[in-house]
Amino acid sequence: MLAFYTKVEPKLRTLGIALKTVTKITKIGRAASGGISSYAWIIMLIHYLQQIDQLPVLQELYEGSTKPTTLVNGWNVWYQNDLSVIVSITSSY
């Protein structure tokens, strides 16, 4: 899903690299020594961008009134992975 988000918003890759660089320089991104992993920082970046309406929540971009399901171990892991549908729904992003 992370790679797909970079297709939705190509600038996310640049932001992610910048964030990883900052966490490396400031030494707050060292998961092995008790810090937060780079994966967690990227997830927080995506969440932040979703909260300020700069990135869509792919799990909420479905057409119709029924949310699609893809179950894995009883969890619905479905997300919109059709870029044309995303573009048609999220013209404001």
The model's confidence at residue 92, banded by pLDDT at 50, 70 and 90, is low
Expressed as residue numbers, the domain containing 46 is 2-89
Number of domains in the chain: 1
pLDDT at 61: 93
Residue-wise pLDDT tens digits, 42-90: 999 999 999 999 999 999 999 889 999 999 999 999 999 999 999 888 8
Which helix (H) or strand (E) is 71 found in, with range? Answer: strand 71-72
Nearest to 6 by CA among 55, 63, 59: 55
Residue-wise pLDDT tens digits, 8-52: 999 999 999 999 999 999 988 888 888 899 999 999 999 999 999
pTM score, two decimals? Answer: 0.83
Distances (CA, A) of 46 to 52, 64, 86: 10, 25, 16
Q: Where are the alpha helices (DSSP H) in 1-82?
A: 2-8, 11-25, 38-51
